[in-house]
C-alpha cells in the first residue's frame, strides 16, 4: 500500500505541474489579448479595470504558485486546493467584468472543475464545484444590489452552474474508473514482478546454463550457471551487454557458423576451463527473434551417460541372471536324477535338459541381438512384394493362417532385415495367443501421411495392468517366453523412425507399426 500511495502522490505532483503550466499560459494569453485589443474592443468589457486587474493578479498568482509547487514539494493537496480556489475566484471576477458568462470563460471554468475532480479528494473537489456554482449564480444578485447589473442573464448563469455539477459528476465517474484501472494495473505489476522473481530464482538455482541473445548478439538474459561456464562476470546476468565484449570466442563462433534450431555443438574458450555443450533454440517473440543457448558441462554429461550405461548394464545383468536361473535349476535337477533312472525316465530327463538348454541359448541370442547395436540401413521397400516373400521364406508353416489386406500399393523406408524380424516376432506372437479357427490378420493401409501395419489376433488380448510393461525387456506372460521379442521389435522401429504401439480391441490384440510412406511419384 505504501508503494501505491507513493506512486499516486507522484502522479498527482506531475499532473499538478502540467496544470500549473497550463494556467500560467492561459493567464499570459488572456492578458496579452486584452492589452492588444483594449483600445478597439474596450466597449465589450463592462468593467475593463476589474477585468485588467483580475488578469494581472491571475498571472502573478499563476507564476508564484507554479514556482512554489515546483520547488516546495510539501502539502501538495493543500497547494492544489489553493490553486483551484484562485482559478474559481479569478474566473468569476472575469465573468462579472464581462457582465455574464462567455463561451471561452465557461470552457475555462469547465476545465478547472474537471481538473479539480481528477487531482483533489472528493470532498475538496465538491467544495471547489460548489464555490464555482455560487460565484457564477449569485454574482448578478450582488451586482443588482450595487446597481452594477440586472437579472437579464441569470438564466445563463444557472445553466452554467448546472453544467458545473454535471462535469463534477462525470469527473467522479472517471476518477473511479481510473482508480479501478490503477488498482488492476498495480495488481498485475505485482504479479508480474512476483513471477519475474520466481523465474530469476529458478534460473539461479539450476545447474544448467541459459543465455538469451538478441539479433545483434547482445546478452538479454543469463543465469549464474551460464556465466560460470563461460567465464563471464556474474554482473552481466542482470544487464544487457554485447557478447563480443565479454565472450569473443563464442561471439565469433556464432557469427561465422550458420546455426540451425535444435543444433548441438561443443565449445571451449580461453576464458573458461570447461568443455561446454551448447544447444541452440530459436525463440520467436513479437517484433524480434531471440536465440536461446542451453549450456552444459560436456564432461559432466559424459559422466552421467557412463553412469546410466553402468546402471542399465547392472539391470540387464540382473535380468539375465534371473531368466537363466530357472532353466539352469531345471537342468541341474534333471542331471541329478539322470544316474538312477530307468531308460524311459532318462529319455524324458534328456529331453528336458535339451529343452532348457535351448531356452538358455535363445535368451543369450536375443540378448546379443539387443546389445549388438547393429547399424540400421533403411531402404525403399515395396510392401506388395515384401510381405508375400516374407510369408513364403520365414512363415511358411503359418501361411494358411495369415490373412493379408492391402487395398493400395505402399512403399516405405525401413531396414529390410529389421522389418522382417519385427513382423516375424509380431506374427509368431499373434499365433501363440490366437483363438482356434481364427486367422491372423495383417492389414496394410495408409491414412494421410502415415502407413499403418496392423497385426491382429482373436485371443484374450493383453490385460490392462500389463499394457505399460509390454515393451520392457524380459517381460513376458508366457512361462517359456524370454520377454525380448517385443522389446527388440520396438527398438528396431525406433531406429527406423517408426512407432510400434499396442491398440486395445474389443476382442484380441492389435500391434500397430506406424511409419512414413515413400511417394513413388516423386
475 versus 3: which is more confidently predicted? 475
In sequence order, what E strands does 226-274 have? 241-242, 264-268
Q: What is the pLDDT of residue 452?
A: 93
Which ranges in the chain are annotated with CATH 1.10.287.130? 307-371
Residue 92 clears pLDDT 50, i.e. is over it: yes
Query: What is the arithmetic mean of pLDDT over 51-62?
Result: 86
The three-state secondary structure class of 442 is strand
Residue 334 clears pLDDT 50, i.e. is over it: yes
Q: What is the pLDDT of residue 258?
A: 63
Query: What is the arithmetic mean of pLDDT over 112-120?
Result: 81
330 versus 59: which is more confidently predicted? 59
Between CA 488 and CA 422 the distance in angstroms is: 8
Query: What is the arithmetic mean of pLDDT over 338-364?
Result: 78
The per-residue pLDDT for range 168-201, each reduced to its tens digit, is 777 777 777 776 777 777 778 888 888 878 877 8
Q: What is the pLDDT of residue 441?
A: 92
Between CA 494 and CA 488 the distance in angstroms is: 10
Cβ-in-10-Å burial (0-12, 13-18, 19+) of 173 comes to: exposed
Q: What is the pLDDT of residue 369?
A: 60
> Residue 503: phi, psi to the nearest 5?
-115, 120
Question: Looking at the domain covering 205-300, what would its CATH class be?
Answer: alpha beta
**Nine-digit cell at 503?**
491398440
What Å distances lie between residue 367 and 168, 326, 333, 471, CA to CA? 88, 17, 25, 15
Residues 6 or more apart from 146 whose CB is under 8 A from it? none
Percent of the chain whose pLDDT exceeds 70? 80
CB count within 10 Å of CB 512 equals 16
Between CA 113 and CA 270 the distance in angstroms is: 69
Which ranges in the chain are annotated with CATH 3.30.565.10? 379-515
Instruction: Look up the pTM and report it.
Output: 0.41
Which ranges in the chain are annotated with CATH 3.30.450.20? 205-300
Between CA 358 and CA 438 the distance in angstroms is: 30
In contact, 293 and 447? CB cutoff 8 Å? no
Evaluate the CA torsion angle 373, 378, 379, 385 in order and state its sign. positive
Percent of the chain whose pLDDT exceeds 90? 7
In sequence order, what E strands does 183-274 have? 209-213, 218-222, 241-242, 264-268
Alpha helices in 98-153 (DSSP H): 103-119, 122-145
Between CA 434 and CA 440 the distance in angstroms is: 7
Cβ-in-10-Å burial (0-12, 13-18, 19+) of 273 comes to: exposed
In contact, 486 and 428? CB cutoff 8 Å? no
The per-residue pLDDT for range 25-36, each reduced to its tens digit, is 888 888 888 888
What Å distances lie between residue 515 and 126, 245, 382, 448, 492, CA to CA? 77, 49, 13, 11, 12
Between CA 293 and CA 210 the distance in angstroms is: 6
Between CA 382 and CA 517 the distance in angstroms is: 10
Q: What is the CATH number of domain 307-371?
A: 1.10.287.130
Between CA 249 and CA 276 the distance in angstroms is: 13
Angle between helices 76-97 and 2-37 (to 10 degrees): 20
In contact, 168 and 88? CB cutoff 8 Å? no
Residue 58 clears pLDDT 50, i.e. is over it: yes
Checking 295-301 for CB contacts under 8 A at 24+ apart, the result is 295/208, 295/209, 295/210, 295/211, 295/225, 295/226, 295/229, 295/230, 296/208, 296/209, 296/229, 297/229, 298/266, 298/274, 299/274, 299/275, 301/277
The per-residue pLDDT for range 279-296, each reduced to its tens digit, is 888 887 777 778 888 888
Q: What is the pLDDT of residue 6?
A: 64
What Å distances lie between residue 390 and 53, 196, 370, 423, CA to CA? 113, 61, 22, 9
Residue 455 clears pLDDT 90, i.e. is over it: yes
What per-residue string of b and e applies to 15-48 under the rule 16 or more CB within 10 Å gives b? ebeebbeebbebbeebbeebeeeeeeeeeebebb
150 band by pLDDT with thresholds 50, 70 and 90 = very low
How many Cα neighbours within 13 Å face the side chain of 137?
14
Q: What is the pLDDT of residue 312?
A: 58
Between CA 32 and CA 434 the distance in angstroms is: 107
Checking 1-5 for CB contacts under 8 A at 24+ apart, the result is 3/186, 4/182, 4/186
147 band by pLDDT with thresholds 50, 70 and 90 = very low
Q: In what order do the strands lie in the sheet with 218-222?
A: 241-242, 218-222, 209-213, 288-297, 275-285, 264-268
CB count within 10 Å of CB 161 equals 21
Tell me which of 3.40.190.10, 3.40.50.300, 3.30.565.10, 3.40.50.720 is the CATH number of domain 379-515: 3.30.565.10
Q: What is the pLDDT of residue 263?
A: 75
Between CA 169 and CA 362 the distance in angstroms is: 92
Residue 478 clears pLDDT 80, i.e. is over it: no
Q: What is the pLDDT of residue 98?
A: 74
412 band by pLDDT with thresholds 50, 70 and 90 = very high
Query: What is the arithmetic mean of pLDDT over 123-137?
Result: 77
First to last CA, the chain: 69
The per-residue pLDDT for range 230-255, each reduced to its tens digit, is 887 776 555 677 877 878 888 877 76
122 band by pLDDT with thresholds 50, 70 and 90 = confident
Residue 522 clears pLDDT 60, i.e. is over it: no
Residue 373 clears pLDDT 60, i.e. is over it: no
Q: What is the pLDDT of residue 451?
A: 92
Q: Which of 471, 501, 493, 492 is nearest to 483 (CA)?
A: 471
335 versus 145: which is more confidently predicted? 335
Between CA 307 and CA 316 the distance in angstroms is: 14
Amino acid at each position: 500500500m505504501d508503494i501505491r500511495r507513493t506512486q499516486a502522490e507522484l502522479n498527482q505532483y506531475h499532473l499538478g505541474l502540467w496544470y500549473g503550466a497550463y494556467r500560467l499560459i492561459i493567464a499570459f494569453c488572456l492578458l496579452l489579448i486584452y492589452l492588444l485589443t483594449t483600445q478597439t474592443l474596450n466597449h465589450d468589457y463592462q468593467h475593463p479595470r476589474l477585468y485588467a486587474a483580475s488578469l494581472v493578479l491571475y498571472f502573478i498568482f499563476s507564476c508564484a504558485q507554479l514556482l512554489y509547487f515546483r520547488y516546495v514539494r510539501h502539502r501538495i493537496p493543500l497547494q492544489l486546493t489553493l490553486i483551484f480556489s484562485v482559478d474559481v475566484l479569478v474566473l468569476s471576477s472575469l465573468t462579472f467584468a464581462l457582465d455574464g458568462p462567455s463561451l471561452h470563460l465557461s470552457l475555462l471554468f469547465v476545465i478547472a472543475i474537471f481538473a479539480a475532480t481528477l487531482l483533489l479528494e472528493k470532498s475538496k473537489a465538491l467544495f471547489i464545484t460548489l464555490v464555482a456554482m455560487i460565484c457564477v449564480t449569485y454574482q448578478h444578485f450582488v451586482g443588482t444590489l450595487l446597481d452594477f447589473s440586472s437579472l437579464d442573464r441569470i438564466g445563463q448563469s444557472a445553466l452554467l452552474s448546472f453544467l458545473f455539477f454535471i462535469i463534477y459528476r462525470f469527473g467522479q465517474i472517471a476518477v473511479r474508473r481510473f482508480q479501478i484501472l490503477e488498482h488492476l494495473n498495480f495488481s498485475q505489476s505485482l504479479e508480474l514482478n512476483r513471477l519475474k522473481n520466481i523465474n530469476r530464482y529458478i534460473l539461479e538455482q539450476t545447474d544448467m546454463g541459459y543465455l538469451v541473445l538478441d539479433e545483434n548478439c547482445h546478452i538479454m538474459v543469463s543465469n549464474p550457471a551460464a556465466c560460470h561456464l563461460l567465464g563471464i562476470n556474474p554482473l552481466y546476468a542482470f544487464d544487457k551487454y554485447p557478447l563480443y565484449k565479454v565472450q569473443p570466442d563464442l561471439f565469433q563462433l556464432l557469427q561465422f557458423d550458420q546455426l540451425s534450431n535444435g543444433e548441438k555443438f561443443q565449445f571451449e574458450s580461453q576464458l573458461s576451463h570447461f568443455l561446454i555443450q551448447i544447444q541452440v533454440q530459436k525463440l520467436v517473440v513479437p517484433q524480434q527473434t531471440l536465440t536461446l543457448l542451453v549450456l552444459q558441462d560436456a564432461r559432466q554429461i559424459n559422466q552421467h551417460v557412463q553412469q546410466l550405461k553402468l546402471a542399465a548394464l547392472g539391470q540387464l545383468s540382473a535380468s539375465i541372471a534371473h531368466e537363466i536361473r530357472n532353466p539352469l535349476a531345471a537342468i541341474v535337477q534333471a542331471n541329478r536324477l539322470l544316474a538312477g533312472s530307468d531308460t524311459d525316465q532318462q529319455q524324458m530327463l534328456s529331453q528336458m535338459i535339451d529343452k532348457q538348454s535351448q531356452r538358455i541359448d535363445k535368451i543369450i541370442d536375443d540378448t546379443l541381438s539387443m546389445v549388438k547395436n547393429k547399424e540400421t540401413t533403411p531402404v525403399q521397400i515395396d510392401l506388395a512384394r515384401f510381405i508375400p516373400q516374407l510369408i513364403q521364406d520365414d512363415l511358411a508353416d503359418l501361411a494358411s493362417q495369415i490373412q493379408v489386406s492391402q487395398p493400395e500399393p505402399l512403399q516405405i523406408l525401413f531396414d529390410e532385415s529389421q522389418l522382417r524380424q519385427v513382423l516375424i516376432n509380431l506374427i509368431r506372437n499373434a499365433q501363440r495367443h490366437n483363438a482356434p479357427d481364427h486367422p491372423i490378420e495383417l492389414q496394410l493401409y495408409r491414412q494421410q501421411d502415415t502407413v499403418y501395419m496392423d497385426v491382429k489376433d482373436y485371443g484374450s488380448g493383453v490385460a490392462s495392468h500389463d499394457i505399460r510393461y509390454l515393451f520392457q525387456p524380459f517381460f513376458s506372460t508366457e512361462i517359456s517366453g524370454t520377454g525380448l521379442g517385443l522389446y527388440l521389435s520396438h527398438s528396431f522401429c525406433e531406429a527406423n523412425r517408426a512407432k510400434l504401439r499396442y491398440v486395445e480391441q474389443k476382442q484380441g490384440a492389435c500391434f500397430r507399426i506406424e511409419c512414413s510412406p515413400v511417394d513413388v511419384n516423386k
